[in-house]
Structure 1
Amino acid sequence: MAELSADAAWNYVYCQGWNRDLQRFVGLLDSDTACARNEAGEQYSVTLLRGGVPRVVIDIAWSAHYLGVWTLDEALRRDSHVDYRRLRAEQLFPVRERVWRYAEGQRDGDDDVWEQEVSRKANGWMSTSKRPRGRLGGSSRTAGQEDDTDIWREVPVFGDWRWALPDKEAGPVGTAAEHTGEYEAVSAGSPWRPPTPYRNLYLDDLMLEGATVLMEGAQPRVVAHRLRGMVDMPTGQVITCEPRWLDYSEPFTDTIEPGRYEVHDVLLTDPDSESDWWPRAGFLLRVSEAPVVSWEMALRAGEDPRTLSDGDFYGFSGSQGCFVDAEPLRTADHQINADRGREQSYALRKWARMAKRGELHEHPHSQWSDALERGLDDRDGIRLPGTNFNMIAYNCYYPDGSYPTWIGRATDGAIVCFLTDMRTTHPVIATDH
């Protein structure tokens, strides 16, 4: 490597990252080491310097399908970030873009800095939010479909970093540098990590009755299973959802053999207590008795875990949940939500009149809500209107919370279970920082 060149507009430095608080490089790397990390999928960073001043930081971790590009202003404050994910072999997709604008005297990380964020999904859906007062004030949001043809970009070739230069400052890029002047490197560990989606560290333990896990607040609890009922799966297309809103539900892409399966409460018990009620760590649809050797997030069509950010997951939201098969659910949805489309306004007026007369219980929606309340503790589950099949429903741990479902697999890859996670164990998110 060479010294920073005063003759070239831009040079670059390989390192473990840029420490924005210290305004120093962390752990300089030579080109061979950085190249080896790139090929192995290990994380590293490239910092582009203009006139010897850091202006662009590229964080790369191909094992996590991640490439992030940060730009720095004259005061070395972050003023933009693009979060790319490698969703195709040779192409990157920008799932998130953020821009900050600083008023006089504001520092990087201040709560009141103006911010705009654009979030994208690979199906063309995008949303934009603006926060004029940062985290201290309100926000505005717009959303809709966009043509994403031109926003994919090619995976960069190692060593060619010119693509990351701001258009207004583009110019020739010199050689990699080993001396960084006033931004001398420090030797602390990497100052960043790739996005880490939510994951529960206790999934294996939750399958073992008698295992000890930690609940919220680091309270030790003993795992117990209790049969909740048997659910009919005539097609094997599994759905977990809020049963009050059936029309928003789609099955998981992984299916099981049609049949009738046990559903268990996964309880967090305290042997020293005489209580007969215990919080639930989850709800288990058991497909076979084989041991679980691996876990993965249950996904619906169009969901891609490579696009998730820190702590994120796919799941359902609500105060109740259920296990149900897709085919009878569609029939029941049609029975319960018969008033749709052009008749919706008429239906709303009719419901209002019924409410005044005290007859709201006669409407299918109210009948369904009553059936849910009556059937939550019934071993036979809740019969789905218009079908010969049932669902197993339950109250969620957090009112109006959000809950992922995990698929447990055997050594041969066969599905052993679906486990809907109430997110009550601690810690639930594994991070290195």
Structure 2
Amino acid sequence: MIIDVTYGEDWDAASRTVLGPMSRQRAAARDTAGEPYAVVLRGEGRPQPVAVLHIAWAHGYFGVWAYDDQGRRTREFDLRRLEPERLFLRHVARWRYDTQDMPEFAGQAGRVRVDLYPDGRGRKVSEPRGSGGGSRHTMANMPQEERWVPAPEFGAWEWTVALVTGGQFPDALREAPETNPTPLATALSTANWQPPTPMRPRHLDEMFTPGTRFPPPYDGDAGPYIVQRIIEAGPLRLPTGQVIACDPSWITPGKPFTVAVPPGDYRTQIATAAYAGEYEGTPTHIEDHTAARVLISEKPTAAWELALRPGEDPRTLRNDEFYGFGVDSGTGCFVDAATAPQLIGRGNTLTGEADPDGILVREDPESGGNLIAYPSGMGDGTYPVWIGRDADGEVTCFVADMLILGDLILGGEELLRD
């Protein structure tokens, strides 16, 4: 088996061409610089690729798509360079097309998705009949040694061919000039791949600015979300400065974030936003708890980062993913690591104890700390916590985003207020 190798910006399945083809030397320079590029691997005389590689070492990303004879993507391999000499197999997906004319990613196509993590965890989701049938969720029992592969040198794509062909290594690789070149400007505007982008912080200061308008919660007659109130929930007492965010009714609180702050009492606020709607002809006013924050300093925040627990590696996150805290009782909280064992996991935390805004403060005389709980937006789910830092790199706040308000502020760059 002879494999023709072409380098470029991307692969266009519709026209069966490489977008923005580039020389091996130029691709090698991008590889060294960590800049994104694509590698198209085609069998001799085959118009469709055997595989397309998307590489961006600055992001630690090495992606592989396998193609069938109809030009449909059949398998995805998402590998991450977590170590200098090794790639970690973060994600594998497979689609099964039962007929030759079934469209790519058709809803009825059978599919399997496997997500793996460096600590040995993994999950597998099987949907034999696609989205129209049931699904099975199991643990992904893949040995640790199979989750890692050596990081390839530039041009050594033989192992990738073996990966997508079930172990068949090519007899030779040869550089193939692109016979239908695409102008670079067209390629850049047409290329549809980019390295995975995890969830980014979304207007966290504006969530605590009354009057700021966000898009409505759904299409129709609902008005925009408008930040209504900033509820002062009282000081959060942190005897060790090790912060935990969790569901207060869980059996165990989990580990504190890797970023700690000096022990002390810190102002804690809960933000709400409301929108006007209509139900069966009656106007309604719906107010939701949208975010909670612990203010560590009064300095303005210059940068945001995702709060992480030990063992969580942001380099493993895929598009729009984040590490967060889970909620099963419709309630979230902030608490110190020394206080959590005494106050977490005591049944339904809010029953008969919360104030009219749904806020609950519990004290622990033994540690000197307390717990501040609040309604978690729309209810159960998983929510990120962001850490703000000032221009000197010092922590300014912790913000739990309930993922209700949108990515955009209505009115473009300027905040529209009542």
1:352 equivalent in structure 2: none
Counterpart position of 2:58: 63
Distance of 1:416 and 1:264 partners within structure 2:
14
Structure 2 contact 350–358 (Cα < 8 Å) conserved: no
- Does residue 237 in structure 1 map to residue 249 in structure 2? no
The 3 A distance-change label for structure 1 pair 402 and 222 is: same
Q: How many angstroms apart in 1 are the aligned matches of 2:132 and 2:408?
A: 28
Q: Could you report, residue by residue, the CA deviation over 1:115-166 in whole angstroms, capped at 9, with x for unpaired residues? A: 1222100001122222111122111222166431243122222222222112
CA positional deviation for 1:386: 6.5
- Amino acid corresponding to residue 179 of structure 2 in structure 1: H
Aligned partners of 1:378 and 1:241: how far apart in 2?
16
User: Does the 8 Å contact 1:230/1:380 carry over to 2?
Assistant: no
Partner of 1:365: 347
Q: Which moved more, 1:198-207 or 1:249-258?
A: 198-207
TM-score (norm 2): 0.83
CA shift, 1:388, in A, is 4.5
Of residues 209-218 and 312-321 in structure 1, the stretch that sits farther from structure 2 once superposed is: 209-218
Matched, 1:412 2:392: yes
Output the CA distance in 2 between the equivalents of 1:21 and 1:141. 34
Unaligned runs of 5+ in 2: 277-283, 410-418
Question: Which 5+ residue runs of structure 1 have no aligned equivalent?
Answer: 1-7, 337-363
After TM superposition, give the deviation of residue 393 of structure 1 in Å.
0.6
1:395 CA drift (Å): 0.4
Report what 2:336 is aligned to.
Answer: 325
**1:2-52 CA distances to partner (integer Å, 9 max, x unpaired)?**
xxxxxx811111111122344432221222332232233222100011114
- The answer to whether the 8 A contact 1:315-1:405 is kept is yes
Instruction: Return closer, same or farther for 1:17/1:141 CA change in 2, 3 Å cut-off.
Output: same
Q: Does 125-134 or 236-245 show the bigger shift?
A: 125-134
The answer to whether the 8 Å contact 2:41/2:52 transfers is yes
1:79 aligned residue (60, 74, 83): 74
Distance 1:123 1:117, change over 3 A: same
Partner Cα distance (1:141, 1:126) in 2: 11
Per the alignment, residue 86 of structure 2 pairs with 91
Partner of 2:313: 304
| CA distance in structure 2 between the aligned counterparts of 1:257 and 1:378, rounded to whole angstroms | 28
Residues 97 and 379 of structure 1: is their aligned pair in 2 closer, same or farther, counting only changes over 3 Å?
Answer: closer
- Asked whether the equivalents of residues 375 and 381 of structure 1 are also in contact (C-alpha less than 8 Å), the reply is no
Aligned position for 2:372: 392
Change (3 A) 1:68 1:400: same
Give % identity: 33
Q: Distance in 1 between matches of 2:258 and 2:251?
A: 18
Distance in 2 between residues matched to 1:398 and 1:21, nearest whole Å: 42
Does 1:147 pair with 2:124? no
The aligned runs of 1:273-312 (5 Å cut-off) are 278-312=287-321
- 1:154 and 1:205 map into 2 onto residues whose CA distance is 45
Once residues 259 and 174 of structure 1 are traced to their aligned partners in structure 2, the CA distance between those partners, rounded to angstroms, is 65
Shift of 1:324: 0.5
Shift of 1:76: 1.8
Matching residue of 1:191: 192
1:255 corresponds in structure 2 to 260
Partner of 1:16: 9
Letter in 1 for 2:168: K
Which of the two has higher C-alpha Rg?
Answer: 1
1:226 to 2:218 alignment = no
Q: Could you tell me whether the CA contact under 8 Å between 2:201 and 2:304 is conserved in 1?
A: no
Choose between structure 1 and 2: higher helix proportion.
Answer: 1
Cα distance in structure 2, aligned partners of 1:70 and 1:149: 22
Asked whether the equivalents of residues 359 and 374 of structure 2 are also in contact (C-alpha less than 8 Å), the reply is no
- For 1:277 and 1:140, locate their aligned partners in 2 and report how far apart those are by CA, in whole Å: 37
Q: Is the 8 A contact 1:94 1:120 kept in 2?
A: yes
Counterpart position of 2:152:
156
The DSSP-based 3-state class of the residue aligned with 1:42 is coil
Rounded Cα–Cα distance in structure 2 between residues aligned with 1:103 and 1:420? 45
Q: What residue number does 2:26 align with?
A: 33
Rounded to whole Å, the distance in 2 between the matches of 1:62 and 1:226 is 44
Bigger mean CA offset, 391-400 vs 197-206: 197-206
2:301, 2:323 → 1: CA distance?
21
User: Are 2:244 and 2:253, in contact at CA under 8 Å, matched by a contact in 1?
Assistant: no
- Which is further off, 65-74 or 100-109? 100-109
Q: Contact 1:376–1:392 at 8 Å: present in 2 too?
A: no
Deviation string, structure 1 residues 206-226 (Cα, Å, up to 9, x no partner): 465665555545826357533
The 3 A distance-change label for structure 1 pair 169 and 88 is: closer
Alignment partners' CA distance in 1, 2:208 and 2:357: 22
Closer/same/farther in 2, CA of residues 76 and 224 from structure 1, 3 Å limit: same
Distance 1:240 1:124, change over 3 A: same
Write out per-residue CA displacement over residues 270-293 of structure 1, whole angstroms, 9 at most, x where no aligned residue. 89xxx9984333111000011111
Quickly say closer, same or farther: Cα 1:146–1:36, change in 2 above 3 A: same
CA distance in 2, matches of 1:369, 1:201: 28
RMSD: 3.0
Partner residue of 1:346? none
Which residue pairs with 2:175 in the alignment? 175
Aligned with 2:38 (options 23, 38, 45): 45
Q: How many angstroms apart in 2 are the aligned matches of 1:237 and 1:196?
A: 28
Tell me the secondary structure at the aligned position of residue 394 of structure 1: strand
Contact 1:321-1:394 at 8 Å conserved across structures: yes
Question: In the alignment, which residue of structure 1 is the partner of 2:95?
Answer: 100
The structure-2 alpha-carbon separation of the partners of 1:227 and 1:95, relative to structure 1 and needing over 3 Å to count, comes to: same
Q: Which amino acid aligns with 2:204?
A: L
- Mapped partners of 2:266, 2:302: distance in 1: 21
Deviation, 1:55, is 0.9
Does structure 1 residue 121 correspond to structure 2 residue 121? no
SS for the counterpart of 2:255 is coil
Task: State the shift of 1:186 in Å.
Answer: 6.9
Aligned-partner Cα distance in 2 for 1:29–1:247: 54
